Amino acid sequence: MAAGIQIENLSFSYSEEKEVLKNLSLEIRAGEKMGLIGPMGSGKSTLLLHLNGLLTGSGTVKIGDTGVKKDTLPEIRRKVGMVFQNPDDQLFNPTVEEEIAFGPLNFGYSPDEVAEKLKYALEAMRLTGMEKSVSHHLSMGERKRVALATVLALDPEVIALDEPFANLDTPMMMQLLDIINSLSATFIIVSQSLLPLLSCCDRVAIINHGRIVAVGPVKDILQDEELMRNNGLDLGYYKKILRELF
Amino acid sequence: MRHHFIDRYSDLNSPVHRLDPRVKILLAFLGILIVVSEPPGRLLPFAFYGGLLLVVLLLSRLPFAFLLKRYLILSPFIVMASVFYPVSLYFAEETQAIAFHQETIEVALSIFLKASLSLFLLIWLISVERFHILLLGLRKLKMPKLVGTISILMYSYIFVFWDEALKTTRARESRTPGKLQRIKLRTYANQMAMILLHSWERSKTLHHAMLSRGFHGEFYSMREPGLKKADVLFLALFLLLFLHIRLFTDPLFIQ
């Protein structure tokens, strides 16, 4: 099952001097895969943290029909799976198996249900056979897959990914794209790598200075050179290299 | 970053490893209590305690070199505590005469033996069970939730801290031609500050990751502890042996 996301007039600041999100509004349909792009420090990761209730600003954030509030946090955290930029910030259990089981156990699933969810997440992320591996001894690609598996084990309606394609080699990236495309949950994907978004997202939103500047189909947005350039996302450099190469 | 875990032998498959964590916790703590309650100066019972501990260690299949290494790291504190007793008597005028009498030396020796056995029992405890399973066992033994939460966070942060230390050391060494030649103190101080700041940041993110997956201060494991007959028998047998040594070796000692 997938849930839609509705963000209305969201503002947030870490300190009084600088507002990171400014009256931001965005709507993502249930089951949609939305890319979120923008220059460094534009508020992308901060926005993701609001979906799971890890940060709360002024304005409203709704996941399906449930508003993100203090008293709905358990429900929200069951609905929204969050994968952090650096897997080392996400993995804190000694083995892969324990890491994946952590969420279901905390949400009170029975041992049989936990075992079932563990099996599903391992299979979905192609990690079967690595249950007893020590998380910290895995490669970056494997750790990224384990981080996503920890979230899949909760069968969330919304999956928020922060820079999932960073530090991945091409085969690993293709594998991750396959996995994302095979899932029916609503996705919101923050990425500095723009090209993979073409293969997995329905729409992208550009965020700059804490505001949504444009939303639209991936191709339309990426082809709008002026819009991209004005928001620090110039693809001209890659175009030039590709032209020289081929 | 790759480093060994504190509880690196907790995954061995020995009869002791398979015991319920509560049995191991109770055996270690009650064992320490019995050993520590020995009156000062009684030395013979320690030979029996030592023998009993050896049996437990053999059953656990832990490498002796590893246990000894851990013990040696902390042993200077034990040696200092033992030596301090006669030395403190020597420096007081009224007790100077008895500072190095046989009885005083025996008391110092018993301090050394009590502390050593207690330390071995603790090293054994953290080596035969995963840290978070021990916490789960302690929670089952009614340890307050808050103490458990603080302990698991501190345990996780050791790795974060260690990781950051390794990273910053690598960054420092990559820009030095070997040993630091100048401004050593300032460099180390700066590195220390950076390690603390980075660890603080990463700890916050880790805590976020835990919260986002439903963490609410309670501990769970895929292997829920359940006391079996063998657990109760093991605990009863070893505690009775400890108590037997404690209560019935006195006449032997007097003779």
pLDDT in tens, A178-216: 989 999 999 999 998 888 999 999 999 999 999 999 999
Q: Where are the alpha helices (DSSP H) in A17-106?
A: 44-51, 73-79, 96-106
Instruction: Let me know whether B33 and B84 are in one domain.
Output: yes
d(CA A209, nearest CA chain B) in Å = 23
Q: Is the pLDDT of residue B85 over 90?
A: no
A140 in B contact zone (CB under 8 Å): no
Question: B202: pLDDT confidence band, cut at 50, 70 and 90?
Answer: confident
Instruction: Let me know whether B204 and B250 are in one domain.
Output: no
Q: Where are the alpha helices (DSSP H) in chain A?
A: 44-51, 73-79, 96-106, 111-124, 140-152, 170-182, 195-200, 218-223, 225-230, 236-245
Residue A204: strand pairing partners: A35, A216
B211 in A contact zone (CB under 8 Å): yes
Task: Answer yes or no: is A42 within a domain.
Answer: yes
Task: Answer yes or no: is A92 within a domain.
Answer: no
Which of B116-120, B132-136, B172-176 is predicted with the least confidence, judged by mean pLDDT?
B172-176
A14 in B contact zone (CB under 8 Å): no
Instruction: Let me know whether B109 and B43 are in one domain.
Output: yes
Q: Which domain holds residue B113?
A: 21-138+225-254
Distance CA A48, CA A231 (A): 19
Instruction: Give the best residue of B222, B223, B224 to mutate against chain A (max A CB count within 10 A).
Output: B222
What percent of chain B stands above pLDDT 90?
34
- What secondary structure, in 3-state letters, does A125-166 show? CCCCCCCCCEHHHCCHHHHHHHHHHHHHCCCCCEEEEECCCC
Pick the more confident residue, A9 or B92: A9
The answer to whether B118 and B145 have CB atoms below 8 angstroms apart is: no
User: Radius of gyration over alpha carbons of chain B, in Å?
Assistant: 23
Nearest residue to A3 via CA among A73, A71, A61, A86: A61
Residue A116 structure tokens: 């079932």
Q: Residue count of chain B, please give it.
A: 255
pLDDT of residue B11: 79
pLDDT of residue B2: 46
How many domains would you assign to chain A?
1
Q: Which domain holds residue A45?
A: 5-86+156-245
Residue B10 structure tokens: 């907790």
Instruction: Give the best residue of B213, B215, B220 to mutate against chain A (max A CB count within 10 A).
Output: B213
Instruction: Let me know whether B49 and B173 are in one domain.
Output: no
B213 in A contact zone (CB under 8 Å): yes
Instruction: Let me know whether B236 and B203 are in one domain.
Output: no
Instruction: Let me know whether B29 and B130 are in one domain.
Output: yes
CATH number for position A220: 3.40.50.300
From chain A residues 100-129, the ones with a CB under 8 A of any chain B CB are 101-103, 105-107, 111, 114-115, 118
Task: Answer yes or no: is B165 within a domain.
Answer: yes
Task: Answer yes or no: is A114 within a domain.
Answer: no
For range A107-122, the mean pLDDT: 91
How many domains would you assign to chain B?
2
pLDDT of residue B100: 76
Task: Answer yes or no: is B130 within a domain.
Answer: yes
Residue A18 structure tokens: 């600088």
Task: Answer yes or no: is B93 within a domain.
Answer: yes
pLDDT of residue A42: 92
Whether complex ipTM tops 0.85: no
Task: Answer yes or no: is B46 within a domain.
Answer: yes
Distance CA A11, CA A13 (A): 7
Task: Answer yes or no: is B69 within a domain.
Answer: yes
pLDDT of residue A209: 93
Which residues on chain A are in Cβ contact (under 8 Å) with B164? none
* Residue labelled with tokens 């100077």: B96
Contacts of B211 (CB under 8 A, 6+ apart): A54, A77
d(CA B169, nearest CA chain A) in Å = 18
Task: Answer yes or no: is A106 within a domain.
Answer: no
Task: Answer yes or no: is B229 within a domain.
Answer: yes
pLDDT of residue A25: 95
Instruction: Let me know whether B34 and B112 are in one domain.
Output: yes
Of B1, B209, B222, the CB nearest to A89: B209
**Cβ pair B214:A106 closer than 8 A:** yes
Which of A146-160, B23-37, B149-163, B173-187 is predicted with the least confidence, judged by mean pLDDT?
B173-187
Task: Answer yes or no: is A137 within a domain.
Answer: no
Instruction: Let me know whether B230 and B127 are in one domain.
Output: yes
pLDDT of residue B254: 46
Dihedral sign from CA coordinates of B231, B233, B236, B238: negative
Which residues on chain B are in Cβ contact (under 8 Å) with A137? 2
Which residues on chain A are in Cβ contact (under 8 Å) with B158? none
Instruction: Let me know whether B61 and B172 are in one domain.
Output: no
Residue A22: strand pairing partners: none
Instruction: Let me know whether B119 and B234 are in one domain.
Output: yes
Instruction: Let me know whether B26 and B112 are in one domain.
Output: yes
**A52 to chain B: nearest residue by CA?**
B212
Report the predicted TM-score, pTM, of the whole model to 2 decimal places.
0.73
Amino acid at B126: I
Q: What is the mean pLDDT of chain A?
A: 90
**A133 to chain B: nearest residue by CA?**
B11
Question: B242: pLDDT confidence band, cut at 50, 70 and 90?
Answer: very high
For range B131-143, the mean pLDDT: 86
Task: Answer yes or no: is A203 within a domain.
Answer: yes
Q: Residue B12 CB: number of other CB atoms within 10 A? A: 15
pLDDT of residue B105: 86
Instruction: Let me know whether B126 and B160 are in one domain.
Output: no
Task: Answer yes or no: is A120 within a domain.
Answer: no
Which residues on chain B are in Cβ contact (under 8 Å) with A89? 202, 205-206, 209
Task: Answer yes or no: is B7 within a domain.
Answer: no
B166 in A contact zone (CB under 8 Å): no
pLDDT of residue B250: 59
Task: Answer yes or no: is A141 within a domain.
Answer: no
Of A92, A115, A134, the CB nearest to B210: A92
Q: Is the pLDDT of residue A10 over 80?
A: yes
Q: Is the pLDDT of residue B237 over 90?
A: yes
Q: What is the mean pLDDT of chain B?
A: 84
Residue A224 structure tokens: 């709008």
Q: Residue B215 CB: number of other CB atoms within 10 A? A: 21
B214 in A contact zone (CB under 8 Å): yes
